[in-house]
Structure 1
Amino acid sequence: MTDSKTLEIPFWLKLNMTIKEAAAYSNIGINRIEELLKQPKCNFVLYVGNKKLVKRKEFEQDISKNIEL
């Protein structure tokens, strides 16, 4: 017998977020976040295999010091 309950953590408490979660969290579009993650000096991207995750704390810091994206 397997229990299909999953532990759900609010994405604003996670260390890493998916691109969709980052978009909802920041009110920035998915396409724009994907463009930011492709930049060579992006410090808030985390690669897990082929999947890209957003490091929440670094993302917040980067967004807070920018005037324009």
Structure 2
Amino acid sequence: MMKKIWWNVNEKYLTYVKNEKGAQALEWVALGLVVIAIMSAIAMGVGSSDIGATIVSKLEEMIQGIGAGS
């Protein structure tokens, strides 16, 4: 009797633990937020210096190059 109850509880527990719906979407959202944070730090921190202008121009070249490759 106890063994049957244990298996039922264990089965119910595993259905919730193994459910990973939405985990990949959450990872992509977190990655996007990290990229936005880095871009914001670059734009605010070094926007007026020569290094900032170089970084911004290189990023613009990379973004424009994305569409040109196809």
Structure with higher helix content: 2
Q: For the pair shown, which has the larger CA radius of gyration, 1 or 2?
A: 2
Structure with higher strand content: 1
Q: Which has the higher contact order (CA 8 A, sep 6+)?
A: 1
TM-score norm. by structure 1 comes to 0.24
